[in-house]
Structure 1
């Protein structure tokens, strides 16, 4: 049995890890915290074997937390920021989970716990491969849970304040990521920004209608998306 602690300021992030941990009865959750200061206190108190550690947290960052620990447990970073991957290697992290990640990716991280002879170079290579690829699935909210949906099922994405609404054939899901963040994470060969508030899946376009000097895009579900003036050139590049 291994004692596990979760340190993540996002409730959704903690819920997801707890859900994935249900498949591993030997990993027992003993505490969860939502800031760096409490992370230091609880890790020093409980001495967990494994910590799922966010990087950007109130009070102390994940790396600052490590500097205040009496004993360093095994660390799996769980973060939305990819720029800290190299620094994670320096502190000999078991793995670096880049949000949003799937249950399959989580399984790989857990399997690395048993790799006593883990090579940092190999871990670095795998993470950099992730950074240069695009996800096949994204995490979204559904009935107070987080579920994954296939990117190919997405019809279009709508800005919703600091969040995004992801439209599929039958449902609208809420994503914790803003539309600009999703634009960076999703495959640009498939997803095209046509307005500051909307992005479309090119495979789900039904028709493109021209009105004077502007265009509207009709999607498979019947939604009509206006192409703003600033994105006209982008649309024209895909027209034959």
Structure 2
């Protein structure tokens, strides 16, 4: 038997989850809240085994809630926002239910919980927690899908606010990781930070052109990446 808590600021969302939970007598609802602050307090108080967690809530977002918990329970995100799906991989969520979802989709999430196999967690482990020091693949967003691409296919990475754009030869993908986080995850033998907003794949460099006291790097997809003066020493280290 698992203790369940629902954190969702929409009453309709809470009602739907409670209705679907009726088919699972082993999942016992112990509390429901409608904001992030109460979610933190009640989760720390009751120590539920499973939380159905909305993302955009008053007080604290779902991700902020997780940062204030004494113990992290199993999490199934239930949200109307698809742009946070990649970030759900980072916290090893059991599943990511995108509203409006069906009873069958809810069942799939519960089955992942019961089998102790999270497809999200499993994929995240295969991508970001390989036996090697650096992953051979990364997760990116393409339209409304999540796909993996091989790191060797990355031409360069561009800062995009709190996120990053991952450029391949003919496509740009969105990553929920900031450029600093990606820099740590990518193999430094292959990837070089050349600007506070840019990381290049050294194997994909076509040519360097002098630009004032710095350089412009032409990548093999013909895109040009500027080297800032602060990163010139890094460029000089790879010159013969």
- State the TM bucket, normalised to the shorter chain: 0.5 to 0.7
Contact 2:43-2:69 at 8 Å conserved across structures? no
Contact 2:40-2:65 at 8 Å conserved across structures? no
| Cα distance change, pair 211–39 in 1 and its aligned pair in 2 (3 A) | closer
Q: 1:58 deviation in Å?
A: 2.8
Q: 1:162 deviation in Å?
A: 0.8
Contact 1:36-1:58 at 8 Å conserved across structures? no
Alignment partners' CA distance in 2, 1:236 and 1:8: 52
Alignment partners' CA distance in 1, 2:5 and 2:216: 46
Contact 1:8-1:57 at 8 Å conserved across structures? no
Which aligned pairs between 1:1-240 and structure 2 lie closer than 5 A? 38=39, 57-59=63-65, 61=67, 63-65=69-71, 80=90, 103=123, 105=125, 133-240=133-240
Matched positions, count: 173
Question: Unmatched 5+ residue regions in structure 1?
Answer: 10-27, 67-72, 82-94, 108-126
Alignment partners' CA distance in 2, 1:6 and 1:229: 52
SS of the aligned residue for 1:140 comes to strand
Q: 1:211 deviation in Å?
A: 3.5
Q: 1:143 deviation in Å?
A: 1.6
Contact 1:35-1:60 at 8 Å conserved across structures? no
| Cα distance change, pair 196–37 in 1 and its aligned pair in 2 (3 A) | same
SS of the aligned residue for 2:64 comes to coil
| Cα distance change, pair 220–106 in 1 and its aligned pair in 2 (3 A) | closer
Give the greater-gyration-radius structure (CA). Answer: 2
How large is the RMSD of aligned CA atoms in angstroms? 4.7
Contact 1:35-1:57 at 8 Å conserved across structures? no
Q: 1:152 deviation in Å?
A: 0.5
Question: Given the two structures, how large is their TM-score scaled by the length of structure 2?
Answer: 0.55
Question: Can you list the C-alpha shifts for 1:176-197, whole angstroms capped at 9, x where unaligned?
Answer: 1111111111111111011111
Alignment partners' CA distance in 1, 2:149 and 2:220: 17
SS of the aligned residue for 1:157 comes to strand
SS of the aligned residue for 2:184 comes to helix
Q: 1:80 deviation in Å?
A: 4.0
Alignment partners' CA distance in 1, 2:191 and 2:202: 6
| Cα distance change, pair 104–214 in 1 and its aligned pair in 2 (3 A) | closer
Question: Can you list the C-alpha shifts for 1:5-61, whole angstroms capped at 9, x where unaligned?
Answer: 89999xxxxxxxxxxxxxxxxxx9x9xx9968548868999x75x7899xx933454
Question: Given the two structures, how large is their TM-score scaled by the length of structure 1?
Answer: 0.55
